[in-house]
Structure 1
Amino acid sequence: MDVAGLRAIDVHTHAEVSASGGASLGDDLHDASSAYFKVEGERKPTVAQMAAYYRERDMAAVVFTVDAESATGTPPVPNEEIAETAAAHSDVLIPFASLDPFRGKAAVRQARRLVEEYGVRGFKFHPSIQGFFPNDRLAYGLYEVIEETGTIALFHTGQTGIGAGLPGGGGIRLKYSNPLHVDDVAADFPHLKIILAHPSFPWQDEALAVATHKPGVHIDLSGWSPKYFPPQLVKYANSLLQDKVLFGSDFPVLTPDRWLADFAKLDIKDHVRPKILKENAVRLLGL
């Protein structure tokens, strides 16, 4: 990967469909998410199509699925497929994986194999969809592997567009994604590299506190247009957390084009802007 030639690194994109056509979310949850984000038309690119999309923009992207099969009954896009496709497009794609914590020791074994045999660089957790608190000991075997291998644990935090507007929110509970639950993980695994995904509404102050207090915790800015960022998030990104905040879009529901256009209008210091767009990710990912 020619890091110097990249405009930016998007640390948060979703592989929503496999090359064979299998989707990672059921139609009801996918449609609710599309309505929440006001996605126009059908937007389910394959991983290879995502590579072409980011290559055209001189950007790289972290790509992952969400394995919540125990909770939703829907199998994810295979982690191996994502990793293999990313390897074929290593100039622009960085593979993360996702494993259902309820799979126990089988998930732990797969995590190690995905790192050692497939070059996976991190793991995505979505507590609200997967239905677990991050500090539940059922996931600690996975965290041990992630910490040991020097890879990254990325946690969805805050409200989610998945299930929004459906009766009962599609059964998805927001309580699991309070970033304070991740604080326990950061304390119990002091060398684990962690990303708190998204402006963490309604727990933005909690996320800022955890990221300020725990050296290994970072924040990505995905899932929101920058024009809607809470003022305290902008303040901390410009100061105490300028080395720990990362550009993420949430593609395909939010495009990097829209995100970057709105970010250009945000009151971010000139020397901080390149850190958020690329430099912090280069350091965290070891590129």
Structure 2
Amino acid sequence: MPPTDRPRTDLPQTDLPRTDIAAPAGMDVARLTAIDVHTHAEVSRTGHPSLTPELMAASEKYFAAQGHRQPTIEEMADYYRRRNMAAVVFTVDAEHALGHPPIPNEEIAEDCAAHADALIPFASLDPWRGRAAVRRAHRLVEEYGVRGFKFHPSLQAFSPDDPMAYPLYEAIAELGVPALFHTGQTGIGAGVPGGGGIRLKYSNPLFLDDVATDFPELQIILAHPSFPWQDEALAVATHKPNVFIDLSGWSPKYFPPQLIRYANTLLKEKVLFGSDYPVITPDRWLSDFAKIDIKPDVRPLILKDNAVRLLGLTPG
């Protein structure tokens, strides 16, 4: 059962607890123009893909990105470095549900460390791994410098409020790093018979209301405009001080009006730039973002400042 004796906090949204960690060695935070909190490592050093060919093809078709290159982490670093940006990089460990081994988290962390001026490593652990996932979470943060964790409930076939995942959340909260959850529809499996077995219901952001309640010290990022549950995402992020929203996976020109309204007002310090690179490039995202009605004083918060605060990127 979810814990019932956990301490609760009711901190204002602008005074959240933060892990005071320095920026990765070599990262000049002041120089950065933006921090992309949502990019994917799609191929390992040995050429192992993050998804099966069927699911990758479905995702490419959904994003109209057929035939896009799967960049190496070195190429990703060069891409962001040339734009004076930094990027959070992760894969998805969904081996239990998909039967497809993930790209090793340790490899991603090591390769990001080699390009620490531009890349920030997150890890992904399948919650179905149980205690082994808890042990690896500690090792990945303490020995490999991982700075957050990515979950994809639909791919991993679990409801985020399932108590079986709570020990892993407990560990991540203790480690003082954020947890990023895919929310809303996914292009992975779109158009494949039966959606490739992927169930959309697990990515309703309302499931994360329980997680945010039971783990008030865990910083939670709701990834993407959460179609068809945008209002649920806005409600949770407005109500829970420890819940943020990243704007990845959609061109800003398609953002629903209520998302723009909340980003400009109540959630201006809780909304983060994310692209979903490589299927959506930051160049395309930023070009469209420049054309939507975001207040001038809010733009730098979304593009960089909120991520600096959330990720604890104090000058090293």
Q: TM-score, normalised by structure 1?
A: 0.99
Q: Which residue of 1 aligns with 2:293?
A: 267
SS of the equivalent of 2:133 reads: helix
Distance 1:84 1:157 in 2: 28
Structure 1 residue 138 corresponds to structure 2 residue 164? yes
Structure 1 residue 127 corresponds to structure 2 residue 145? no
Q: Deviations over 1:264-287 (max 9, x none)?
A: 001000000000000000000000
* 8 A Cα contact 2:57 2:66, kept in partner: no
* Deviation, structure 1 residue 41: 2.3
* 8 A Cα contact 2:41 2:91, kept in partner: yes
Correspondence list, 1:52-91, <5 A:
52-91=78-117
Q: Which residue of 2 aligns with 1:149?
A: 175
Structure 1 residue 95 corresponds to structure 2 residue 121? yes
User: Residue type matched to 2:234 in 1?
Assistant: L
Q: Which residue of 2 aligns with 1:208?
A: 234
Structure 1 residue 244 corresponds to structure 2 residue 244? no
Q: Deviations over 1:175-196 (max 9, x none)?
A: 0000010110000001100100
* Deviation, structure 1 residue 40: 4.0
Indicate which of 237, 261, 267 corresponds to 1:235: 261
Of the two structures, which has the highest relative contact order with CA contacts closer than 8 Å and spacing of 6 or more?
A: 2
Q: TM-score, normalised by structure 2?
A: 0.90
* 8 A Cα contact 2:68 2:279, kept in partner: no
Structure 1 residue 42 corresponds to structure 2 residue 68? yes
Q: Deviations over 1:141-199 (max 9, x none)?
A: 11011101110100000000000011111110000000010110000001100100000
Structure 1 residue ranges, 4+ long, deviating more than 4 angstroms after superposition: none
C-alpha RMSD of the superposition: 0.6
Distance 1:117 1:89 in 2: 17
Structure 1 residue 16 corresponds to structure 2 residue 42? yes
Structure 1 residue 197 corresponds to structure 2 residue 239? no
Identical amino acids, percent of aligned pairs: 76
* Deviation, structure 1 residue 96: 0.2
SS of the equivalent of 1:128 reads: helix
Distance 1:271 1:232 in 2: 19
User: Residue type matched to 2:226 in 1?
Assistant: S
Distance 2:49 2:279 in 1: 15
Distance 1:44 1:74 in 2: 18
SS of the equivalent of 2:235 reads: helix
* Deviation, structure 1 residue 69: 0.4
Q: Deviations over 1:53-94 (max 9, x none)?
A: 111111100000000001111111110000001111000000
* Deviation, structure 1 residue 136: 0.5
Gaps of 5+ in 2: 1-26
Distance 1:42 1:275 in 2: 30
Distance 1:29 1:235 in 2: 34
Indicate which of 94, 104, 108 corresponds to 2:134: 108
* Deviation, structure 1 residue 42: 3.3
Distance 2:62 2:50 in 1: 18
Distance 2:66 2:301 in 1: 31
Gaps of 5+ in 1: none
Higher helix share: 1
* Deviation, structure 1 residue 7: 1.1
SS of the equivalent of 1:57 reads: coil
Q: Which residue of 2 aligns with 1:278?
A: 304
